[in-house]
Structure 1
């Protein structure tokens, strides 16, 4: 009898970001209801966002640099203001650095592969103030976590095949866009919650299509969009 080995999947940047939002929301609820004073704890909330940015750097193996660094920079400035080490007007004067960072993301994109291909069964992509494009070519594709925060994320699945139908993709677009490119014959089910945003399957309709669902796309779009294309 063979021994089955299992690999531990590290938490994604999307999972950590969602956990941070939940934690901050709980602290705000305790404060607004008067149950517990959380002023001192909330003043350290930016450090958690810094940690998410650092994790995004590490998880991408420092291939996605500009976006996480911008996130770290903004959260660090927010932390300095929250602790009283700097005033808002002292921090705001550095906003042109965001323009420089955007330019760097464009320049760096010209010197590296436009689309990173992978044959992993699961794909994770996190884009903040920039763009990430990935192609999955696995013949045992299981799913993906895609996050676009003031940026764009694209996942190309035209060469992928689901291990078991349906495969599942969780997409979050906040002030950005997530695009999922699938084979023309895939039956895709959209279960995305749009909050002042949009979710659409932009492929042309076909008269004949098999009933079995190949891919389920879940998540939400806030001031952004999640789209399926071919």
Structure 2
């Protein structure tokens, strides 16, 4: 059974338990359990991304830290209001974003793409003849990545995409083969590329996604 079907089955069972609990058919205290342990979803997602997306570990690390913070707060190991406030976190994340590619709207002739968008969006046009992949992180923001001017000279290029309350649109040449995998949590992805007989199987773009309340679309330009 695929990971998405397993996750879907878990959600169905969880929803069924909640309905039975609300109707008074069973008393399993599911509301208290969810309110206390919901950050475990973020913790598991962060660990999953760290283990499966070597090029996109920053996204998994951020999600893991957020999950740990809220879980410790819910278990009363820390008092969030006493140790952290919202605005310093924003400053730190914006500072981190400045360390990544900021070639918004410009052509990028590099083998690796590493972009970080928070509370903003970015447009990136890649023209490298030896594109090898990279990572894209969007938190409350989005990224438009245009790869139609790029070429793959190796067997496979790997692009790791992380979205948290954000999204990403990725445009690829029509002769590329696109393989998408990953973990959706209240989000998802769509491979909308056109399949034709002219696809060069030696040009493979492997897209690994972690989407949390977000989405990723991979498509060809019209």
Is it true that 1:144 corresponds to 2:134 in the alignment?
yes
Contact 1:177 1:224 in 2 (8 A): yes
1:186 is matched with which residue: 171, 176, 179? 176
- In 2, Cα distance between the equivalents of 1:57 and 1:155? 18
Q: Does 1:19 find its partner at 2:9?
A: no
Runs of 5+ consecutive residues of structure 2 not aligned to the other structure: 1-55
Indicate how the Cα distance of structure 1 residues 225 and 31 shifts in structure 2: closer, same or farther if over 3 A, else same: closer
2:116 aligned with 1:126: yes
| Structure 2 residue aligned with 1:173 | 163
Q: CA deviation at 1:199?
A: 1.0
> How far, CA to CA, are the matches of 2:90 and 2:139 in structure 1?
13
Give per-residue Cα distances to partners, 1:107-146, cap 9 Å, x unaligned.
xxxxxxxx21111111122223332011111112111211
TM-score by length of 2: 0.62
State the SS of the aligned residue for 2:98: helix
CA distance 1:24–1:216, shift in 2 (3 Å): same
Q: Which of 71, 79, 84 in structure 2 is aligned with 1:39? A: 79
Of the structure 1 ranges 141-150 and 18-27, higher mean CA displacement relative to structure 2 is found in 18-27
Q: Name the residue aligned to 2:39.
A: none
Task: Give distance in 2, aligned partners of 1:16 and 1:186.
Answer: 27
Q: Is 1:196–1:222's contact at 8 Å kept on the other side of the alignment? A: yes
Give the match for residue 95 of structure 2: 54
The Cα of 1:26 is off from its aligned counterpart by: 3.0
Q: Quick one: distance in 2 between partners of 1:40 and 1:177?
A: 28
**Could you say if the C-alpha distance between residues 128 and 40 of structure 1 is closer, same or farther in structure 2, counting changes exceeding 3 Å?**
closer
- Report the count of equivalent residues: 164
Instruction: Return 5+ residue gaps in structure 1 as ranges.
Output: 1-13, 65-114
Distance 1:39 1:144, change over 3 A: same
* Separation (CA, whole Å) in 2 of partners of 1:168 and 1:149: 21
Q: Name 2:18's counterpart in structure 1.
A: none
TM superposition shift of 1:164: 1.9
Rate the CA distance shift 1:211–1:224 in 2: closer, same or farther, 3 A. same
